[in-house]
Structure 1
Amino acid sequence: MTRCLFIPPYLLEKIATSHPDPGASRCGAQTLRIDASLRVARATASPGARPAAGATAGRPFSVHTARHGTDLPGDLVRAPGDPASGDPAVDEAYAGVEASLALFSEVFGRDSYDDRGAEVVATVHYEQDYDNAFWDGTQLVFGDGDGTVFGRFTKPVDVLGHELSHAVTQFTADLTYEGQSGALNESVSDVFGSCLKQRLLGQTADEADWLIGEGIFLPSVQGRALRSMAEPGTAYDDPVLGKDPQVASMDDYVDTQDDNGGVHTNSGIPNKAFHLAATAIGGKAWEGAGRIWYAALTSGIAADTDFAGFADATVTAAGAVSPAVAEQVRAAWTAVGVTGAAGTSAPPVPAGERRVAVVRSGGFAGVRQAGELTLGDDPRTPEVESLLGRIDLQGLAPHRPQPDRFVYSFEVDGERVVVGEQDLTPDLDQLARILLG
């Protein structure tokens, strides 16, 4: 199971390279470096994956603090039955995890993320000015934001729901975090994150704003939220961050090698389908379309299921409600252009000249960063050549994408290899740092 980072790498890269505020730019670059260093080995995603370190049997959840460091899970701060701590991040994480578990238990009949009562461990105050949140395969982790672009990642409750839903997906369909299955993985987390938010607000599908991460941006950013399920591609339009890149239809499907095949961009397509289905069915989204999506997720679909396959699973699940509801769900998928044709794979990278290049993509915000150099007169050449002499590209383990984590594509003399941040060796990490500045 890969680390599922909330902010897509393409957004962090824009902050790091283009933000006029030096502090914001520094924090963006720092977050990218931190995410690149998160290489802790994790068990392969499966129902038998181990619980987070420090988890206590019989306790439904707990909130810890990393005290602006990286040790996980950190110091225990609050557990069920404890009074409010007075620390906003701690108490927001407590409330969000508690509400997320209640959603899955009371609406879907699920006993924690693994359906076996596993303790949910959440850690806040991770690193200094960290612009992200993630599920690392065993626990939830939240940064405080940089104070200029991003605020606390515990503040929007749908961020909590989004990350815990990655855990649910890991222990059910285990959707491969790449291409269409990866976009579905992201979309499922948005779906249940939005259901959580709407349930807490007592809103019907027609009343909801369908925004994901509302409040994560600070006033310096021109945007309503990180994503919009009702109108993918319209959540923000900022001079520095650019325009929300999500697409809402297969007509605009993005074929790319970045961001694990565009998982944060193309997830707008199934997001829009869910919004259309939920509003057509009416009433409370978590009781209507939400139950159908959960039934599809737990129906035994394959890890590499594409949009069309998941659409079929939702239509089948809706048929158990009524033929009319099945037709409403089918119409929602048809409206976004999912009618049975799978998306195409990204084109191969052409062989290049005597050069070294790296592209870093992914993360919750899907930000992309790239760098390269031609070996020769560049002053970085000696250090890069020394690193290349120690790096065995062919000997690296096969890449297994993880939700919301960064992915590095290294190309050396036309030979390309993809490495998840959790699998970076020290030499590859240093090579990436040199090329990305």
Structure 2
Amino acid sequence: MTTPRATRCTFIPPWLVERVDGPERAARDDELRRERSLRGRAPRPTPPSAEGVVAAPDWTVHDAESRTTLPGQPARSAGDPATGDVAVDEAATGIEATLQMFLDDLARDSYDGRGGPVSLTVHYGSRYNNAFWDGTQLVFGDGDGRVFERFTKPVDVLAHEFSHAVVEHTADLTYRGQSGALNESVADAFASCLKQRLLGQDAGEGDWLIGQGIFTPSIQARALRDMAAPGTAYDDPEIGADPQVGHMDDYVETTADNGGVHLNSGIPNKAFQLAAVAIGGTSISGAGRIWYDALVGGDVPSGATFATFAAATVAAAGDHADAVQDAWAQVGVEIDAAAGETDQQPLPTPQPPSPQPGGRLRVERSGGFAGRTETAEVDLGQVDDPDLGQLVTEAVLASATSDGPPRPDMFVYTFTVDDGDPVRVPEHLLTASQAELARRILRPDPATGSTSGWEA
């Protein structure tokens, strides 16, 4: 029996996950989703001090054996020798390095600041193209071998997901709009810090690539993201071009991807890179320390805007305040009078449309680590599927937008019949009927693994 888990934060943006995988992830057990959605958010602990912190917390890597039951079978724990399983050993090496960085450089004892043991799972699912933090567990797929390699291969993937857990237990940045883009960016920032730390690099020496090596050699890509040059990490006929933006002049206003959190995270990413290089030394001891102090300092509300977060980093920067402020200015973020600003604009919650025969059904899926939106439409009157009408009634016509906050790197589904009000549902709140309807309408081409209707 699958144990209910908390909500998850996945690594691959939605536009890449959907383009490569299709909607199979939406068909996960409905009871698991609903029980997971009822779990409370973790409280913010008091930031730990360096005094008394002497050793990194325990961790255990589990093997899901290509299934989706979590956590799987224990495979290696802290203090154990290498197993010979590449994914298990990569996860072990990565979590040890990540925990040590947070402990040594930020005096933070595990993701919760209280020495909580870390549970990891590898070999999740079959050819699973993602990694995520579900509020309890770090989980990694093996990739499909066609577009993606195994997700334990780049160590910064692990550090990114672990950093989502740190954000959850500190500022708990709401995963929507600017605060959601900050959530993504902070995870990238600490991921890059770890990569540079392991390579012995100062900020000026780093390549600032996130997810380097996650793509197979057949894909024309340097990495998944480039913090120094957002929008340039990949350009490939199959997966498209990197759509990230790096300046407020190009800020993307969209209802997809929880307000474009993966698109607009390039803006604070670039600010972090500029600040780190300007400050000099290692990224974690310079800009990383400042960003962390801002997270735990109490001046960053859950719904923080870029300007609010920027003001907090400047306030935490001490002698480097001018360098940090200039970094934000270079990406177009104005921080004057920014204190207390929040970005709490909820998505609309319309009533469901009235039942009606026929019509056109539009299904949209956005979110995920890569950030694009997949759409598909069908004429309900011309579909030879006797069960589809009942599914539409249960999933759309008899449903309302589901309440509940969006989760980092999880998908949002939108169902619309004709010109009726859309029914918008976060992935973890999908009913079985909604999951099945999405699976049928967004079914990928078996020859390519891709679906039609992609939008940047």
* Unaligned residue ranges in structure 1 (runs of 5+): 16-27, 50-57
Question: What is aligned with 2:326?
Answer: 331
Q: Does 1:11 align with 2:16?
A: yes
TM-score normalised by structure 1 residue count: 0.89
1:48, distance to aligned residue in structure 2 (A): 8.3
Give the 4+ runs in structure 1 shifted more than 4 A.
Answer: 340-353, 392-396
1:365, distance to aligned residue in structure 2 (A): 1.7
Deviations 1:56-114 (CA, angstroms, capped at 9, x unpaired): xx961110100000111110010111100111100110011111111111111111111
Match of 2:291 among 290, 293, 296: 293
1:396, distance to aligned residue in structure 2 (A): 5.5
User: Would you say the 8 A contact 1:260–1:361 is kept in 2?
Assistant: yes
Q: Does 1:33 align with 2:24?
A: yes
Amino acid at match of 1:365: A
SS of match in other structure, 2:285:
coil
Any residues of structure 2 matched to 1:245-256 within 5 Å, and which?
Answer: 245-256=243-254
**Partner Cα separation in structure 2 for residue 242 and residue 258 of structure 1:** 18
**Partner Cα separation in structure 2 for residue 337 and residue 123 of structure 1:** 40
Match of 1:44 among 40, 44, 64: 40
User: Would you say the 8 A contact 2:402–2:426 is kept in 1?
Assistant: no
Amino acid at match of 1:434: R
User: Would you say the 8 A contact 2:402–2:424 is kept in 1?
Assistant: no
User: Would you say the 8 A contact 2:203–2:282 is kept in 1?
Assistant: yes
Q: Does 1:122 align with 2:150?
A: no
1:412, distance to aligned residue in structure 2 (A): 3.1
SS of match in other structure, 2:205:
coil
Q: Does 1:304 align with 2:299?
A: no
SS of match in other structure, 2:284:
coil
User: Would you say the 8 A contact 1:357–1:373 is kept in 2?
Assistant: yes
**Partner Cα separation in structure 1 for residue 85 and residue 365 of structure 2:** 34
Relative distance call for 1:165 and 1:344 in structure 2 (3 A) is closer
Match of 1:85 among 62, 83, 102: 83
Question: What is aligned with 1:420?
Answer: 426
Match of 1:74 among 68, 72, 90: 72
Match of 2:275 among 274, 277, 288: 277
Amino acid at match of 1:361: S
Amino acid at match of 2:216: L
**Partner Cα separation in structure 2 for residue 420 and residue 397 of structure 1:** 7
**Partner Cα separation in structure 1 for residue 242 and residue 349 of structure 2:** 26
Deviations 1:238-285 (CA, angstroms, capped at 9, x unpaired): 111111000000111111111111111100000000000001111111
Question: What is aligned with 1:410?
Answer: 415
**Partner Cα separation in structure 2 for residue 4 and residue 421 of structure 1:** 11
Identity fraction in percent: 57
1:315, distance to aligned residue in structure 2 (A): 0.6
**Partner Cα separation in structure 2 for residue 78 and residue 420 of structure 1:** 34
Q: Does 1:385 align with 2:389?
A: yes
Amino acid at match of 2:316: A
Relative distance call for 1:76 and 1:261 in structure 2 (3 A) is same
Question: What is aligned with 1:55?
Answer: none
Relative distance call for 1:344 and 1:266 in structure 2 (3 A) is farther
SS of match in other structure, 1:78:
strand
SS of match in other structure, 1:287:
helix
Deviations 1:356-410 (CA, angstroms, capped at 9, x unpaired): 2211111112242111223323324x42321233346555540311111111112
Relative distance call for 1:129 and 1:48 in structure 2 (3 A) is same
1:34, distance to aligned residue in structure 2 (A): 2.4
**Partner Cα separation in structure 2 for residue 137 and residue 390 of structure 1:** 30
